Structure formats: structure tokens, C-alpha cells
Amino acid sequence: MSTGTTEVRTVEQGGVRLAVDVSGSGPTVVLAHGFPELAFSWRHQVPALVAAGYRVAVPDQRGYGRSDRPPALEAYDIEQLTGDLLAVLDDLGEERACFVGHDWGALVVWQLALLAPERVRAVVGMSVPFLPRPPAPTITLLRQLFADRFFYILYFQELGVADAELAADPARTMRRLLAGPRSTELSAEQASALSAQGEAGFVERLPEPAALPDWLPEADLDHYVTEFTRTGFTGGLNWYRNLDRNWALTEAVAGARVACPSLFIAGTEDPVIAFSPPDAGLGHLDDHRGNRLIDGAGHWVQQERPGEVNAALIEFLDDVHHRKATP
């Protein structure tokens, strides 16, 4: 990812080294990617935010890309993941920043706003809205909900299984995940296969795309494929394997509210919002500035529709910092 003046910094937290791309000057914004992505996933946001007068820090999060992939499962719990983002702030000499997260990155930045509110000036979640802590461990609830059906998060729990399937052909994995047809475009047979009982894994249930979408040039897909061929997928999968541990670790903030300004951005075709409704946690957000649903966009919203995402981000950040709106 290049913005012309990007500095690649190495930030260490608990013995884990993170590669962090830092660009621009001004108030700090930290961008946290999701699964299975990279700092590269924010390639369209960084130049726009820098041009709008912000310093932008973008880590390859632990387990991904150029950053370390610690072997211990508990190295990927919510305390470590939020600790990484605070370590980025410390390395930059900043007391507070605005945090923007997509997918798993959204889960982390929402929790950071609860666990370290004094460090979070504002928070933006993409794809995954704020989700109040459930009454029982997450995996326990999912096993009850999907008792007789396949669900990818449950499939990801068994050590080594999804790791091997996803890594067997990283090009197929990334192509089907990033470029596959939307849920509304699936045939009845394809839709049924996604949750049917059986021995099929995760990737083999996903339809093969007829072609790459306009927003995903072959060179961009190749970048993901090259990185995940080198690293595998275990680091990212280990985030999922800490869901119950995270539930236990966040008992102290059960029922807590996000006090800082917040924003939610998602595509209307994102399957995540079908089972995590954007309004579900609004009662826990004290200064929510709205849900921006981008018509026709899917899960990879900041890559699919960068113009609209960038405009929403800059409008929100300028408002938070009491700056004149960027024309």
C-alpha cells in the first residue's frame, strides 16, 4: 500500500511485532482490517484521509501479512487485539485517536471503546455493528442456534481443519470470498448448500465467481493471494477461536455504553447485517451519528464503494474534530 509518503513502523506489544503503515499529518485515525484481509484493504481510504488532513495508521493486525503470527491461541484474545491498537497509539505518541474497524476490526474497535474509553476519541464500525455482550458464551449460543446446520464460525473452531482447507488453494479461497456472488444472487441450491449438514468445508460451499468484479482488479486479488500463500490463515482463524474467552474477559464491561461519537457503515447486500442488525445495539451508543447503509454494496464495503465510504468517514471525522467539512 503506497500513499507517496508512507512510513512503515514496527510496533511491539507483548513480544509481538506489528507492521504499521503511517501516512499524513494531523489528528490520528487508526484503521483496523478484518478477516481475511490486510492493511492493503484500506488502500482507497488512506490517500483520501491524508488529503483531508489526517494522520493515518494502518496495521497488518497480528496473525496477518507482515506482522507476527504467535502460535499460542490465547495470543489472539480481545485483550491482546485491543492492546495492539493501543500500542500503535503509544508508538505514535498519541493519547487518543479515532478508530475505524471493518469486520473483525469493527468488533475490536467497539470493544476498545468500552475497555479504554479515555483513548478513543471516536469509533466507526463497518459491516459489524455494536453488539451488546450476550447472556451466555458466544459459541454456546451459536451451537444452540445452528444445532442441525453448518455455520462457518463453528466450523472454524476445530484446530487445523479450516486452516488446511483455506490454505490448500489460497487463490480459490480469496477469489470466492472476495468476488463470489451476493447472497441475493445465489440459486436456491447454492443458498441451501451454505448451511446444509455434511462433510463439505467452508470454501467448497462458496460458489465460484463468473468473473472478478470491477472493484477487484486481478493485481489486487494477486496481492492477497501472495500474502496468504506465504502466511496461511491460522492467525486470522485464531481470532474466531477466542470468542468464548473474549466473552469471559469482557465481564467487567457487560452492559457498558460507548460514550464517544460513533458511526456505522455497511452495504445493504452485506450478509452480516442479516444476522447482526445495525439497530440491535443502538441503546448502548450515547453519541451515535447514524447508520450509513450503502445501497447495493456487499461485505467488502470500503473496497467496493470507496467514494461513498470515504465521504462518510471524512464528514464524520471532520464533525468530531470540529473542522470545516472537506469539499
Return the bridge partners of 32, or none.
Answer: 101
Name the β-bridge partners of 285: 258
Beta strands in the chain (DSSP E): 7-13, 16-23, 28-32, 55-59, 97-102, 120-126, 258-267, 285-294
CA distance 109 to 85: 9
> Parallel, antiparallel, or unpaired: how do β-strands 285-294 and 97-102 relate?
unpaired
For residue 61, give the 3-state DSSP assignment.
Answer: coil
Active site positions, annotated: 103, 299
CA 116 – CA 113 distance, rounded (Å): 6
CA distance 138 to 275: 14
Closest CA to 195 of 256, 125, 142: 142
Q: What is the C-alpha radius of gyration for the chain, rounded to an integer number of angstroms? A: 19
Q: Which residue has the cell 514496527?
A: 10
Strand 55-59 and strand 28-32: the pairing is: parallel
Three cell numbers at 45? Answer: 481510504
Q: How many CB atoms sit inside 10 A of residue 224's CB?
A: 23
For residue 174, give the amino acid letter: M
Phi, psi angle pair for 277, to nearest 5°: -60, 135
Q: Is 179 within 8 Å of 212 (Cβ atoms)?
A: yes
* 8 Å CB contact between 3 and 44: no
- Percentages helix, strand, coil for the chain, rounded to the nearest 5? 45, 20, 40
